[in-house]
Amino acid sequence: MKIKIKETAKQKKNYSLYKLAKVLNIPEQTVYSWAKGRTQPSYLNLDKLCDALDCGIQDLLEAEPVQSKLF
């Protein structure tokens, strides 16, 4: 799953990643790492993200395309 943190933060609250980190009271590097896909937020942090951005989990998650089987 890809997490659309940057897009959702901008769309819902007009927050930059820096502002979002300050609102969540977590290190900026952590939020940047989530946004770049290097790490994933824990379920607790995913819940905090949803609360801070007034959105649902479905707004943050982007389904990746399913690969077709080759026969």
Q: What is the pLDDT of residue 65?
A: 63
CATH topology of domain 2-62: 434 Repressor (Amino-terminal Domain) (1.10.260)
Predicted confidence at residue 61, as pLDDT, reads 86
What residues does each domain of the chain span?
2-62
Asked if residues 9 and 53 have their Cβ atoms less than 8 Å apart, the reply is yes
Q: What pLDDT, on the 0 to 100 scale, is given for residue 62?
A: 76
pLDDT of residue 18: 97
Residues 26-68 have pLDDT tens digits of: 999 999 999 999 999 999 999 999 999 999 999 998 766 666 5
The pTM of this model reads: 0.81
